[in-house]
Amino acid sequence: MGLSHLVRETRIALSFYAICAPLFCGRNLGNSNPLPSGPDGPHLEFNKYFTLLIDQARKQSKNFVYPADKYPIMEISNKQSQILQRLKSRGPQSVRILASQLGITTMGVRQHLAAMEKLGLVKQTREARQNRGRPVHLWALSGKGHARFPDRHQTLSLDLIEAIDRTMGSEQLASLISECGSQQVRQYSGLLETAAGDLGERLRLLAELRTEDGFMAEIRLLPEGWLLIENHCPLHAAARRCPAFCDAELSMLRTLLLEHAEVERADHLLAGARRCAFKITVKAAAKN
Residue 151: band (very low, low, confident or very high) from pLDDT cuts 50, 70, 90: low
Query: So what's the pLDDT on residue 139?
Result: 93
Percent share of the chain, pLDDT over 70: 67
Flag whether pLDDT at 49 surpasses 80: no
pLDDT for 197-233, tens place per residue?
A: 789 999 999 999 999 888 999 999 999 899 999 999 9
3-state secondary structure the chain: CCHHHHHHHHHHHHHHHHHHCHHHCCCCCCCCCCCCCECCECCCCHHHHHHHHHHHHHHHCCCCCCHHHHCCCCCCCHHHHHHHHHHHHHCCEEHHHHHHHHCCCHHHHHHHHHHHHHCCCEEECCCECCCCCCCECEEEECHHHHCCCCCCCHHHHHHHHHHHHHHHCHHHHHHHHHHHHHHHHHHHHHHHHHHCCCHHHHHHHHHHHHHHCCCCEEEEEECCEEEEEECCCCCHHHHHHCCHHHHHHHHHHHHHCCCCEEEEEEECHHHCCCCEEEEEEECHHHHC
